[in-house]
Amino acid sequence: MGVVCRLILSLLLTSQVLALSNEVKGLLHKAKHALEQEQMARAFDALSHAYDLSSEQKPDQVEVLCALGYFYFRLSSPGDSEGCYKKALNLDPYHFNSLMGLGDVLFTRTEYLNARHYYELAKKYHPQRFETYSAIASTFYERAQVSQAFHYYQLALRRNPSDTLSLNNLGILWYERQNLKEAQKTWELGLRGNPDSLSLHNNLGILFRDAGQPERARVHFLKALRIRGEDPAVLSNYANLLFDKRRTEQAKHYLRLAQKQQRSPVYFNNLAVMERFTREVLGSGVQFGHALRERPDYSNAKFHSRYFEGRSQVIKEANHPR
């Protein structure tokens, strides 16, 4: 569990949309729809066409460059994304989505002070936007300045009491302070406005598991899985809950599903523990080996894998790949 970075949630949100030419506006909406469907080639075609048409009007150029910045961000191409946002800001230094988008690029690079600079500019020029306060809070959290993070999430919620992201992250801060009552209250408030939030259901599942309320935890994990059944973190958390109740074969099933989505050393390590619990020694050793391949300094896997040294050629190869 960790504070969620603020990411731009849509391609086209500003009031400037009304000022765009109809053709460019239509192409941007087409690109937005394609991105929602994960059809990246179609999105790029629409954006390229919009870019070709946008050279005559400044508002068109700014919005198209901002949309391209978001597109490249989604493609995990931060350099191209940064370049597009900076070009947009050269044309309009006050453009909200470009300021926030550039901040997001820097945030994902862990350049938190530089990211905060652009979020602060967005706050200065658009003081009514709650998103700026939530974004600034995240930069404070990442630099372990928790009091400031609390303050800015609360400022965001004064401007938008139903902001799911701020409620989610504020609940995490309460949880990390071991104040489960406030964390629960905050996350449940978030669910009133957004009952289909995967993060809120997953976090409440973790909280109720920690609080020794497995049935309440189970309800929230299953709701999260109905929202996104392939989410590896939720699958892993639900597997851990099942293992608590010694429903070990079911637990292993869900943990293997998590592994298919993400090769995490934690998932390999936990499956190794479960395999060892059911006396499947060979499988346990192989899973510890996979954990060490992913993270050689993983202390738990390193300690337990010593048990398997010399017991099997398969295990030896898993622990000591060539």
> Is residue 276 within 8 Å of residue 246, measured between CB atoms?
no
Q: Are residue 214 and residue 180 in the same domain, yes or no?
A: no
User: Is residue 4 situated within a structural domain?
Assistant: no
Give a yes or no: residue 44 inside a domain: yes
Q: Are residues 117 and 29 in the same domain?
A: yes
pLDDT of residue 81 exceeding 60:
yes
- pLDDT classification of 16: cutoffs 50, 70, 90: very low
H or E element at residue 151? helix 146-159
pLDDT at 199 over 90: yes
Cα torsion 97, 35, 3, 78: sign: negative
- Output the pLDDT for position 309: 60
Q: Are residues 214 and 254 in the same domain?
A: yes
Q: Residues 145-197: pLDDT tens digits?
A: 999 999 999 999 999 999 999 999 999 999 999 999 999 999 999 999 999 99
- 13 in a domain, yes or no? no
- Between CA 214 and CA 241 the distance in angstroms is 7
Q: Distance between CA atoms of 122 and 136, rounded to whole angstroms?
A: 10
Please state, in angstroms and rounded to a whole number, the distance separating the CA atoms of residues 18 and 12: 11
pLDDT at 313: 54
Q: Are residues 27 and 101 in the same domain?
A: yes
- Are 255 and 205 within one domain? yes
Region 28-49 average pLDDT: 91
Is the pLDDT at 13 greater than 70? The verdict is: no
Residue 54 has pLDDT above 50, yes or no: yes
- Report pTM: 0.82
Token pair 């198209």 is found at: 64
Max Cα separation, the chain?
72
What is the predicted pLDDT for the residue at 298?
A: 82
* Domain region containing 240: 197-225+232-262
| Cβ contact 68:24 at 8 Å | no
Q: Is residue 12 part of a domain?
A: no
Instruction: Give the C-alpha separation, 296 to 102, whole Å.
Output: 35
Structure tokens belonging to residue 316: 């030896």
Q: How confident is the model at residue 4 (pLDDT cuts 50, 70, 90)?
A: low
- Give residue 213's pLDDT band: very low, low, confident or very high (50, 70, 90): very high
Residue-level length of the chain:
322
Q: What is the mean pLDDT of the chain?
A: 89
Distance of CA 151 to the CA centre of its chain: 22
Task: With respect to residue 95, please indicate whether it lies within any of the assigned structural domains.
Answer: yes
Tally of domains within the chain: 4
Three-state DSSP class for 15?
helix
Helices 58-74 + 22-36 axis angle, to 10: 10
What is the percentage of the chain residues whose pLDDT exceeds 90?
A: 72
Looking at the structure, do residues 33 and 107 belong to the same domain, yes or no?
yes
Nearest to 135 by CA among 109, 172, 107: 107
Mark whether 298 and 256 lie in a shared domain.
no
Same domain, 28 and 120: yes
Chain CA centroid to CA 287, Å: 26
* Residue 3: per-residue pLDDT: 62
Residues 96 and 185 placed together within one structural domain of the fold: no
Assess whether 167 and 258 both reside in one domain. no
Asked if residue 47 belongs to a domain, the reply is yes
Whether 119 and 132 map to the same domain: the answer is: no
**Residue 68: its pLDDT value, please?**
94
Q: Is the pLDDT of residue 52 over 60?
A: yes
The pLDDT tens digits for 216-241 are 999 999 999 999 999 999 999 999 99
Establish if 267 belongs to a structural domain. no
Would you say 6 and 138 are in contact if contact means Cβ atoms under 8 Å apart?
yes
Span 122-152, pLDDT tens digits: 999 999 999 999 999 999 999 999 999 999 9
Which of 81, 104, 124 terminates a domain? The answer is 124
pLDDT band at 11 (very low <50, low <70, confident <90, very high): very low
What pLDDT, on a 0 to 100 scale, did the predictor assign at position 9? 38
Let me know whether 182 and 151 are in one domain. yes
Domain harbouring 242, CATH code: 1.25.40.10
**In contact, 91 and 103? CB cutoff 8 Å:** no
Residue 65 lies in a domain: yes
* pLDDT score recorded for residue 321: 57
